[in-house]
Amino acid sequence: MLQRVDKAFYYKRTSIGFAVSLALLVFAERSRADLVESAPRPGAPLPPPIPSGECPLVFLQADIQYAKQTACSSGTATASSVGAAVASANSLATTCCSQLKAVLWKARGRYANETGRLLLPQASADTCVQSLNNSVIAAGLPAVGTCQIESDVFSEDAGKACGDDLTTVYNFWSASNRTFPGTVGISCYGANADCGLCTTLIQNKILSLGSSATALLASTSCQDLAQVAMAAAAYPLAIANGIARCLYTVDIAPIPQATKCTSYDWSRQNWTSIVRSCGPEKYRADRCCNLIYGQYQMMLAASLNKTNYVLDQGQSDVCFSEFKASLVAQGIPPATPELCRVTPASGLLNIGCFNYSTLQQTIPTRYFHYFAGNCTRASPDNCRHCTQTLIDVGTELANNTSVEYLNSCQQLAVHQYYRWLGRIDLPPEPANCYYQFPPGLELTIVPLPPGKSSSKVGLVAGLSSASAAVLLAVLAGVAFFLWRRYPLYKAEWDAEKKTLGRLSSLRQRVVGTRLQVFTKKQLSKATQDFSESRLVGVGGSGKVYVGELNGEVVAVKDATFGSNKNGAKEAWNEVATLAQYRHRHLVVLKGCCISGTHSFLVYEFLEQGSVDDHLCPVGVVPVGRPAEHSVRAHYLDWPTREKIALGTAKGLAYLHECKPRCIHRDVKLSNILLTNEFEAKLADFGLARRTDPHDTHVTTAIAGTWGYLSPEYMATGKLTEKSDVYSFGVVLLCLAAGRRPTQPNGPEDQIHLPEWAWSLAERNELEQLIDPRLEGEQREYAANMERTTKIALLCVHTAASVRPSMRQCADMLLGRMEVPRLPRRPPTLYTISSLASSDPDSSAGLSLGQQSSSLSTGGAGGFSTSSDHDAKSIP
């Protein structure tokens, strides 16, 4: 459904808790419709009251003009005789009245979609009819009275056409066992829908709502009321449009159709198994539909994890057409997908389960653990129970014995499972486990084919051996130039050679990852010749500019080799890391450029800056950031802070569970960037280290930011994933307390945040740690705050073995896992006399036997409008 503003249309909740929020965003090439909730929520706010005698419906001029131009114009019909003229006039009047009724019907549907209400007080209903009449007469159309448009059909006094129990959208949805419109919507979808079948199914669905009131439900007035409710409840907008199109030949709101499918990377698909089974060979033809369905669902899951949406509504048709075209190109009969019940509507997830109708309504996570335990080759039974596991879950969640609803519920559960995994580059293993394909018929993802244009696909992604050779030659030339211009000591040169050696193998490690290689000319144009007006940050390894490339706002980091001896190493370390790891909670690297003594990295631009910008705002614009690009600090309420913590935990858990494992090494407030929805994204991977999962630790030079470094790492240089856990614990404490890790000018017992938190925990006074700005929320979220601070204390425990894993942190934050009792307070972490100063020109000492001789501000400034205000970083 469409809201009265052009960008979105929202379902709000009725007094009994019905809630559906459906947003149609302004469509560009990458447009999508927001997900909705279509189940009640206890304590939901009541819809806004209707002032006495006022009409809450909005009649759009676009709808009235459409009726005038398509059905109410005398030019739409011609006649060759008097009799024919009379018949033509009668036909015109009929079609015109139908369209005027459609104007009212759509206005009622929009309002029902916003509020859940189907009926209005009589005085308001009368006003609405009069308002519509005035609008159509002003447009030169006949008065609504000539079309028998009356207020009784939607008034509370006379409009209860389906009985007292069916007067709201929620009533209809609940009466249909939470399947309204259910599978009916699919039959109405698409430009080629069989509207005869659609309208029959709509009528039958309404009749099924009460066997003892069939006559009442079959009445024209009840059918009209129920049809409004059905369109209001339909999800997503494309399904609602299909219903409206078959009933009144109108759309609720138009959805611009894309001309190209950008949701999927078709070149990643391996069609071999499908060709063998569905093609002329007919090898195990009985598995053909399993393969077709599995391949399509796997691509939907990939799109979901990349965008958080299953499929853009404007792309559902073109993506399906391209899918079919790809199959036909492989010799598969064009009707095969439909025979296998794969249609353009398959990507819309419009049905769901009994209590979980959309992706936003997450099913209990214990089901995801069932999948994880039974649907991988590593499971004890080698996938033998995967199929039955999904059937059992679908049966339990669907609360319906219909095969269609069971399948739809299973589909939603699987997609939520993929999203729970949080991986963008999804393996086909769960699909292979479920279908138990015989040897030689497994679904696989293949590397991008050779021959792709190097101007569009980065060589880091390994799309062609020729482009890879070009990049390596450029790198070698840059390295030689640097060696000649900036002579290095042997140890430093060996380190640079090691960096280049890693780059030479990057192609093999990140096969299939898309990165674009830009020219300096492109980046110069995008940033207005690297104008100071486009500068958004300055850090230890270069400057960050905001620019526009291909119509998209991006951040461009200029890492200058000469200004920092580690600049090249950190830049390429970041390329290697972000090219290999992709996750919703990691910042997206779009491409890179090598030019002279500069390494340019291009990222997505996150306008909300970093957590530090909002949690600890400063009164003046930071150095290196022009005022026009500064971040406007927002108050972070507790749910937003929890959201940030959870996103950060998921991002780190992903890094720690990948192969090879990745340790970030610089987790801090200013390296957690925020989307406009305040979703967290980890950034600045210049210090990240990739390690073998079997390695217990990595011994390395100490690097990171003071206040976030784990004691054992500072004391021994031994780096493990528990070092990141410690840093995450400090971030949690900062989120809870609303401050940075150290406050040298604060009370003596509060200078160092972890020590102060442990002192409060000892005295059972953890509530004193909470940010005073959250005072008004403490009663409502007291349990959540206590849980978060206890998780934080576990993470910053001196003994690394006590710290949970990042996956356990995420599970505890979500309430999937109990928070263990806090152990005894650890030994003192730092002495007061050794605290680091926040003065950028001062040094810091360590109390654990290791003194830092050259501390400097940490990070590269980020690639957003954020800058680093944290305490010292150790180079």
pLDDT confidence bin for 855, thresholds 50/70/90:
very low
Do 172 and 224 lie in one domain? The reply is yes
Same domain, 421 and 477: no
Q: Answer with the residue of higher pLDDT: 439 or 766.
A: 766
Comparing 8 with 126, the larger pLDDT belongs to: 126
Let me know whether 810 and 780 are in one domain: yes
Are 203 and 68 part of one and the same domain?
yes
3-state secondary structure of 424: coil
Q: What is the pLDDT of residues 270-300, one digit of tens each?
A: 899 999 999 999 999 999 999 998 888 888 8
Instruction: Please check whether residue 254 lies inside any domain of the structure.
Output: no
The backbone torsions φ and ψ at residue 731, rounded to the nearest 5 degrees and listed phi first, read -60, -45
pLDDT at 450: 45
How many residues are there in the chain?
A: 875
- More reliable by pLDDT, 381 or 742: 742
Q: What is the pLDDT of residue 768?
A: 93
CATH code where residue 515 lies: 3.30.200.20
Q: Which of 230-244, 607-621, 743-757 has the lowest mean pLDDT?
A: 607-621
Rounded to an integer, what distance in angstroms lies between the CA atom of residue 466 and that of residue 473? 11
Count the domains in the chain. 4
* Tokens describing residue 559: 């890492």
pLDDT of residue 872: 34
Q: What is the CATH number of the domain that holds 662?
A: 1.10.510.10
Q: Which of 312, 666, 771, 811 is catalytic?
A: 666
Q: SS3 breakdown of the chain: % helix, strand, coil, rounded to 5? A: 45, 10, 45
Does residue 425 surpass a pLDDT of 50? yes
- Given this model, what pLDDT does residue 622 score? 42
* Domain match, 91 and 171 both: yes
pLDDT digits (tens, 9 = 90+) for 28-62: 223 332 223 333 343 445 677 888 899 999 999 98
Note down the domain range covering 764.
638-874
Q: What does pTM read for this prediction?
A: 0.52
pLDDT, mean of residues 825-847: 39
Give the pLDDT confidence of 681-723 residue by residue, as tens digits.
Answer: 998 887 888 876 555 556 566 777 888 988 888 877 888 899 9
Q: Is residue 810 part of a domain?
A: yes
**Whether residue 361 is found in the same domain as residue 464:** no
CB-CB contact of 7 with 26 (8 Å)? yes
Mean pLDDT estimate for the chain: 75
Residues 642 and 759 in one domain: yes
**Domain identity same for 678 and 803:** yes
Q: What is the pLDDT of residue 659?
A: 78
Residue 244 predicted with pLDDT over 90: yes
Tokens of 362: 């997450």
pLDDT higher than threshold 90 for residue 253: no
CA distances to 107, 305, 779 from 528, in Å = 47, 34, 51
Q: What is the mean pLDDT of residues 430-438?
A: 85
Helix (H) or strand (E) segment spanning residue 197: helix 195-207
Q: What does the DSSP 8-state code read for residue 155?
A: B
If DSSP codes are grouped into helix, strand and coil, which group holds residue 430?
A: helix
Which DSSP category does 817 fall into?
A: S
Do 270 and 404 lie in a common domain? yes
Catalytic status, residue 666: yes
Within-domain flag for 31 = no
Q: Which residues pair with 539 in a beta bridge?
A: 542
Same domain, 276 and 239: no
pLDDT at site 433:
85
pLDDT of 145 above 80: yes
| pLDDT tens-digit map of 534-593 | 888 776 667 889 998 877 889 998 876 544 555 556 666 677 777 778 788 999 888 888
402 CB-contact burial (10 Å; exposed 0-12 / middle 13-18 / buried 19+): middle
Mean pLDDT value of segment 442-465: 46
pLDDT of residue 739: 94
**Average pLDDT, stretch 250-272?**
84
Q: Assess if residue 18 is contained within a domain.
A: no
**Is 677 or 622 the better-scoring residue by pLDDT?**
677
- Report yes or no on 175 lying in a domain: yes
Helices (H) and strands (E) in the chain, counts: 29, 14
Q: Are 414 and 390 in contact (CB under 8 A)?
A: yes
Burial class (CB in 10 A: 0-12, 13-18, 19+), 694: exposed
Q: Which residues of 47-67 are buried (b: 16+ CB within 10 A; e: fewer)?
A: beebeeeebbbebbeebbebb
Average pLDDT over residues 168-178: 86
Q: Can you spell out the DSSP letters for 585-636?
A: TBPPEEEEEEETTEEEEEEE-BTT-BHHHHHS--SSPPTT--GGG-------
Q: What is the DSSP letter of 294?
A: H
pLDDT band at 7 (very low <50, low <70, confident <90, very high): very low
Q: What is the pLDDT of residue 691?
A: 78
Q: What are 786-830's pLDDT values in tens digits?
A: 999 999 999 999 888 899 999 999 999 998 899 999 988 766 544
Structural domain contains residue 454:
no
Instruction: Specify if 571 maps to a domain.
Output: yes
pLDDT tens figures, 766-789:
999 999 999 989 889 999 999 999
Domain shared by 210 and 344, yes or no: no
% of the chain exceeding 70 in pLDDT? 71
Confidence of residue 229 (pLDDT cuts 50, 70, 90): very high
| Residue 6 in this model has a pLDDT that exceeds 70 | no
Question: Between helices 366-374 and 386-398, what is the axis angle to 10°?
Answer: 160
Tokens read off for 762: 């000892």
Q: Name the range with the highest mean pLDDT among 344-353, 593-602, 650-659.
A: 650-659
Residue 754 contacts residue 796 (beta carbons within 8 Å): yes
Question: Looking at the predicted structure, is the pLDDT value of residue 668 above 70?
Answer: yes
Q: What is the structure's pLDDT at 648?
A: 96
- Residue-level pLDDT at 794: 94
557 is known to lie in a ligand binding site = yes
What is the band of 102 on the pLDDT scale with cuts at 50, 70, 90?
Answer: very high
Which residues neighbour 103 within 8 Å (Cβ) at sequence distance 6 or greater? 59, 60, 63, 64, 67, 132, 136
Between 85 and 302, where is the model more confident?
302
Region of poorest pLDDT, from 217-221, 443-447, 481-485, 705-709 = 481-485
Residue 839 confidence class, pLDDT cut points 50, 70, 90: very low
Contacts of residue 480, Cβ cutoff 8 Å, sequence gap at least 6: none
More confident residue, 591 or 137: 137
pLDDT at 704: 73
Those residues whose C-beta lies under 8 Å from the C-beta of residue 120, and which sit 6 or more positions away, are: 50, 55, 56, 57, 128, 154, 155, 156
- Residue linked to tokens 């009164």: 619
Q: Where does a domain end: 546, 581, 605? A: 605
Q: What's the pLDDT at 535? A: 87
Q: How much is the pLDDT for 851?
A: 29
- Same structural domain for residues 240 and 298? no
Q: Which two tokens mark 622? A: 């930071």
Is residue 380 situated within a structural domain?
yes
Residues 6+ apart with CB under 8 A from 788: 642, 645, 732, 735, 736, 813
